[in-house]
Structure 1
Amino acid sequence: MDNMNEYLINFKGYNFEKALANIEDLEKMEDFEIRDDDVFIITYPKSGTIWTQQILSLIYYEGHRNNTENISTIDRAPFLEYNIYNLDYAKMSSPRIFTSHLPYYLVPKGLKEKKAKILYIYRNPKDVLISFFHFSNWVVTLEATDTIDHYLEKFLDGKVVGSRWFDHIRGWYEHRHDFNIMFLSYEDLKKDLRSSVLKICSFLKKELSEEDVDAVVRQATFQNMKYDPLANYHYIVNNKVGARKKDGCFLRKGTIGDWKNHLTVEQNERFDMIFKSNMKNFPLKFIWDINEQ
């Protein structure tokens, strides 16, 4: 264990958010008891985590779909490694949905039995970088950075929560045969939410009526979520994390290609060079721009 700075704590080679991490929980993580019907959402930070929590909550909970239950998304699909409410996960009723940014080698061993399902959502890393930069400057539990140039260095060096993006996605992809896992891109969700929801349902073996699928898709659009306090983590920011400035929210823009508004030609070329050397022969496709087919 390594205390990197006041914001990060490094456990077994991976950076956690210091304000939220509990080392005793992390040490017990690999023995956490997995049920066959557990579902895990795994992401690198700022890759569509809340969006996926919302989609799965809408798929699994009728009360979430028809607004008869007032339960926030973070409580439907709590973070495994950041148990900020000290919930007793063993007492949660099945099927449980968990959210995690963990790398493949720190997840509970029981996930390798391949019964529980993992949905891995990935996003093009330039947009992840920009989103993370804004987010880190907004919440008080992360280190603020004065410029994108400075943040770019931190991100490429893995000196951020989640460590190196390249290691996270490659690690999970290269060990995909050890798990019951489906990979889906943020950009696919953005471009065709309905067919993505159907893909997710089919992976989870959840059969929904046409009407229910419509309800999921309608409530899981970015605009609807942004203005839904249950989906937008309002409570957490106000009571658990804290924001540096009033305007801002967990869900900022939710677009594809926002990096073009922020990166200079030089920064972009540097990123491309490092991306190419780290992602050689990597089969998953990345969409860098909203107009790409």
Structure 2
Amino acid sequence: MTQRKTYLGPLTDSRRWDHVALRGDDVIVVTPPKSGTTWMQTLVALLLSGDPDVETDLSVKMPWVDIRFREIAEVAGRLEAMTARRCLKSHTPLDGLPVQDMAQVICVFRHPLDAHFSYRKHLANMPITFFDHWYRAEDPDGITFRRFLDGGAEGFDGDAMPLAHILRHYQAARAAAAAGSNVALFHYADMSRDLPGTLTRLATLLGTPHDQTLMERFAEVASFAHMRANAARYAPSGGTGFMRSDTDFFDSGGHGKWHGHLSEDELSAYSRAMDAALSPNARAWLEYGDTGAP
């Protein structure tokens, strides 16, 4: 593999992956924030366990390796002690991870504008102040969106998730998928449209077949409505008081969150940035997945 990039921000550090001994049957869920990470991890937990009542406890059992909140020695030791097949999470683009040549990598994407507006609400629900001057509670001049368009893919900007960071994720994932069969791309819109189909595709990739009745039950418990209604169980660190509201972690789960919130000039600036970075087909998939534009 080519030399890895280093991603360092106030919240994350990609070098933490150097302390984790990966296994060939690991499942690594790699996404930009607010793109379906928790949803995908829940699907993986269901398929690996075969139990619709599995206690996912994602922060402990399927940890976010990049985040600085826990000592990496403790995280690595806990992962090493696991005897069952493991799932790990990352918000670092694939060109910063040591996973291209081993393990099954699942990348999930969402319309960048939906991810952006979902991230705004997410940060307001979090007890951290790193990004308060970027994501402002009151923003009549549209500074938050300008920073979304202008920010870089790395460092502080990367952790604040500007468009450049989403694009870096997408371009690195596409390159890795083209180079190897262990990287698969999923889209939030397709998961929303056809969750049973998503489960079937994922089960094939992971080699975890289950009978139709059980797969239908998995789709029920992994529905947005069920996860939101049981937010303390399914949200990362749910039930611990870490977030102001576990329920608000599962926002609306919908699409088109930007409608009515951006001016024509802002939408034009976003469109120009997307066209400059991606081919028409690549842009169409990042925005709408296989579902296609509404």
Distance 1:102 1:160 in 2: 9
TM-score between the two structures when normalised by the length of structure 2: 0.80
Query: What's the counterpart of residue 6 of structure 1?
Result: none
Query: What's the counterpart of residue 169 of structure 1?
Result: 170
Question: 1:77-109, CA deviations, whole angstroms, 9 ceiling, x for partnerless residues?
Answer: 21122274533211112310111111122212x
Aligned AA for 1:107? Answer: L
Question: 1:214-247, CA deviations, whole angstroms, 9 ceiling, x for partnerless residues?
Answer: 11100111111112111023537724xx54xx69
Distance 1:91 1:189 in 2: 32
Instruction: Work out which of the residue numbers 210, 213, 216 in structure 2 matches 1:214.
Output: 216
Instruction: Work out which of the residue numbers 52, 55, 67 in structure 2 matches 1:82.
Output: 67
Distance 1:150 1:81 in 2: 28
Aligned AA for 2:171? Answer: R
Between 154-163 and 268-277, the greater mean CA deviation after superposition: 154-163
CA contact (8 A) 1:38 1:97 kept: yes
Query: What's the counterpart of residue 8 of structure 1?
Result: none
CA apart distance, 1:177? 3.9
Secondary structure at the aligned position of 1:112 is classed as: coil
Residue 238 (1) aligns with residue 241 (2): yes
Aligned AA for 1:206? Answer: T
Change (3 A) 1:275 1:15: farther
Q: How many residues align?
A: 267
Residue 152 (1) aligns with residue 145 (2): yes
Question: 1:169-215, CA deviations, whole angstroms, 9 ceiling, x for partnerless residues?
Answer: 11221232444111010100001111111111111111011111011
Aligned AA for 2:20? Answer: F
Residue 119 (1) aligns with residue 119 (2): no
CA apart distance, 1:15? 4.5
Residue 72 (1) aligns with residue 57 (2): yes
Query: What's the counterpart of residue 197 of structure 2?
Result: 195
Secondary structure at the aligned position of 2:258 is classed as: helix
CA apart distance, 1:153? 2.2
Distance 1:131 1:119 in 2: 21
CA apart distance, 1:152? 1.6
CA contact (8 A) 1:222 1:254 kept: yes
Aligned AA for 2:255? Answer: I
Aligned AA for 1:176? Answer: A
CA contact (8 A) 1:53 1:74 kept: no
Specify every segment of 5 or more residues in structure 1 that has no aligned partner in the other structure, as ranges: 1-10
Correspondence 1:41-80 to 2 at 5 A: 41-63=29-51, 65=52, 67=53, 69-80=54-65
CA contact (8 A) 1:45 1:132 kept: yes
CA contact (8 A) 2:31 2:93 kept: no
Change (3 A) 1:120 1:291: closer
Query: What's the counterpart of residue 257 of structure 2?
Result: 258
Change (3 A) 1:136 1:83: closer
Specify every segment of 5 or more residues in structure 2 that has no aligned partner in the other structure, as ranges: none
Instruction: Work out which of the residue numbers 139, 152, 158 in structure 1 matches 2:126.
Output: 139
Distance 2:27 2:61 in 1: 12
Change (3 A) 1:214 1:247: closer
Distance 2:185 2:10 in 1: 25
Change (3 A) 1:203 1:291: closer
Instruction: Work out which of the residue numbers 34, 46, 50 in structure 1 matches 2:22.
Output: 34
CA contact (8 A) 1:79 1:98 kept: yes
Query: What's the counterpart of residue 3 of structure 1?
Result: none
CA apart distance, 1:281? 5.5
Distance 2:239 2:143 in 1: 28
Secondary structure at the aligned position of 2:9 is classed as: strand
Query: What's the counterpart of residue 4 of structure 1?
Result: none
TM-score between the two structures when normalised by the length of structure 1: 0.81
By percentage of residues, which structure has more strand?
A: 1
Q: What is the identity percentage for the equivalent residue pairs of Structure 1 and Structure 2? A: 18
CA contact (8 A) 1:71 1:230 kept: yes
Distance 1:47 1:224 in 2: 18
Change (3 A) 1:160 1:219: same
